Chains A and B, each alone.
Chain A
Amino acid sequence: MSAEQVLQYIFAGITVGSIYAFVAIGYNIIYNTTGIINFAQGEFVMLGGMISFTFSRFMPLFPAIIIAVLITAAIGGLIEIVFIRRMRKNSVLGMIVVTIGISILLREAALYIWDEQIRALSFFTGTEISSVSVFGARISPQVLWVLGVTLVIVGGLFFFFKFTLTGQAMRACSENSRAAKLCGIKTDSMVNFSFMLSAGIGALGGCVVSPLTQTHYAMGTDLAIKGFIVAILGGLGNPIAAVAAGLILGLLESFSISILPMAYKDVISIIILLIILVAKPSGLFGSKQVSSLKDF
């Protein structure tokens, strides 16, 4: 493999890995405030791509993306109010099944509103044939967009959870929701906000990768599974580590294509999931100390 080829694989891996990371970040944020794995997370990515595509026909790209992110965030908040809040009394496992139902609902709604055609948002800068040279490899500028947005999200989330009162309050809800109530934190609003945040971040991810990987009404299922593997790989409850884990899985998949037949791509991720679950259930980056202080 030439050096340039290696770089090509790396950038392809980063692109795919970033989208997994967007899904996994969403899982983690909701998991943190509720203990629920929201399997509708992949649908938020799909909605971001679909909605921004529709709006981009009437307005410039960036406002269309902002609208798509806001609408998807509102849908996330609505889902929490309509389904999750009413059923929170059920077991966590029951709730996870509910989110699978929601994902089917969103997928069918998307099929009804749009259709089964594959859409792609136009490239943020340049066109599909423009490229920039990075260390001698020619890549699409969109890859840099994906990378940049991912980094901004990671930095933003780190700051949010560590240094803002709302971020700390959200962590408090996840660690001990009754104690959070006693501190005067409105836990219901925090849970609602976590759904909006996850949905919004998922939608933003769906927009930035759409030019490269396209958007399809049924794309959510595959993303939900990959994102889940990444969330486990990074250590459940840690949105920042999820990004690193996403990139790792993306790179592994990308390089696996160069040595194994394409069909084995998904096998890689399942094998990784099994290895992690057996060898280090707290995830690659999960700290033993922290995870021993959590429920599960």
Chain B
Amino acid sequence: MLKIRNLEAGYDKLKILKGISLHVKSGEIVTIIGANGAGKTTLLNTITSIVKTTGGNIDFKGVDVTNVSPDLLVKKGCALVPEGRQLYPAMTVKENLILGAYTLYRRREHKKALENLENIYTMFPVLEERKTQLAGTLSGGEQQMVAIGRALMSGPDMLLMDEPSMGLAPLIVKDIFRTVEELRDKGKTILIVEQNAKAVLEIADRGYVMETGSLILEGSAEDLLDNNDVKRAYLGRDYKDFTD
């Protein structure tokens, strides 16, 4: 569904992504793990053309979407749940969700938008209870639900998620990851960036490890969970645990 070849991007003269190649097949959950500042957010922002590509190309559903305007990717069926939620804080929960379906409304597909809204309320009943509350006053977990819901409102086939577990209590993180699995079971393809390597590898099919702008490792989720380098760097095991 998504194919990235030799992608290079950065900010002004600062080159962050140094030739990233990856692919995500339909129906997969693929994760990218990596330390702070590795360039994971930059990668997702480059896929969505918020950051401009300086080399390589991005192919989504067989169409070249390198450096297109961000609304085109949404229309083609790929939505991003950005890092740090990025809600419209002084707008209501419902308004936040509605705006996620902006491209649908523009194409006069009101019925589809309404359907998506109902589905999101079924998935996150608390959002329906809070629909008139200002998004900025929600708890962190609820805000993440709005962020996910807003991305789903356009009815995407593929969801890009940037650290959805950030700043959330372990129990809530579990809920969020369960939601991710549910979405996959409903046929969505998911590319998820995480620091919480253990939790995400448990639900992912495959994973990549990113370090200073390059993907240094690739494998099935089980392989990565077993990999000693990954264990040491991202799973926080004691060194002793795996030298024995």
Contacts and interface: CB of A to CB of B under 8 A. Distances in A.
Contacts of B136: 293
Nearest to B49: A181
Interface of A: 165, 168-169, 171-172, 175-176, 178-186, 289-290, 293-294
21 contacts: A165-B106, A171-B88, A171-B91, A171-B95, A175-B89, A176-B86, A178-B50, A178-B82, A182-B79, A182-B80, A182-B82, A182-B151, A183-B103, A184-B71, A184-B103, A184-B154, A185-B99, A290-B90, A293-B89, A293-B90, A293-B134
Size bracket of the B interface = 20 to 34
B75 A184 contact: yes
B95 A168 contact: yes
Contacts of B210: none
Contacts of B89: 175-176, 293-294
B71 A168 contact: no
Contacts of B148: none
Contacts of B70: 181-182, 184
Interface in B67-120: 69-71, 74-75, 79-80, 82, 86-91, 95, 98-100, 102-103, 105-106
B95 A179 contact: no
B150 interface: yes
Nearest to A179: B86
Given A179-B88, A183-B74, A289-B137, A165 B102 contact: yes
B90 A294 contact: yes
Contacts of B79: 182
Contacts of A179: 82, 86-88
Given A181-B50, A181-B71, A182-B74, A169 B90 contact: no
A75 B90 CA distance: 31
Given A171-B88, A184-B70, A290 B134 contact: yes
B189 interface: no
Given A165-B102, A293-B134, 12 more contacts: A168-B99, A175-B88, A176-B86, A182-B86, A183-B150, A184-B70, A184-B75, A184-B154, A185-B71, A185-B99, A289-B134, A293-B89
Contacts of B50: 178, 181-182
A160 to B, nearest CB: 14
B91 A168 contact: yes
Nearest to B96: A172
Given A165-B105, A168-B98, A182-B70, A176 B88 contact: yes
A interface majority secondary structure: helix
Interface string B184-220: 0000000000000000000000000000000000000
B160 to A, nearest CB: 10
A137 B195 CA distance: 72
B48 interface: yes
A294 B82 CA distance: 19
A172 B99 contact: yes
A168 B241 CA distance: 54
Contact of A169 (B74, B82, B99): B99
Contacts of B100: 183
Contacts of B88: 171-172, 175-176, 179
A185 B71 CA distance: 6
Contacts of B74: 182-184
Contacts of B75: 184
Contact of B69 (A165, A172, A186): A186
B137 A176 contact: no
A33 to B, nearest CB: 13
Contacts of A182: 48, 50, 70, 74, 79-80, 82, 86, 151
B90 A175 contact: yes
B142 to A, nearest CB: 15
Given A178-B50, A179-B82, A184 B134 contact: no
Contacts of A165: 98, 102, 105-106
A216 B102 CA distance: 43
A180 B74 CA distance: 12
A111 B196 CA distance: 65
A186 B71 CA distance: 7
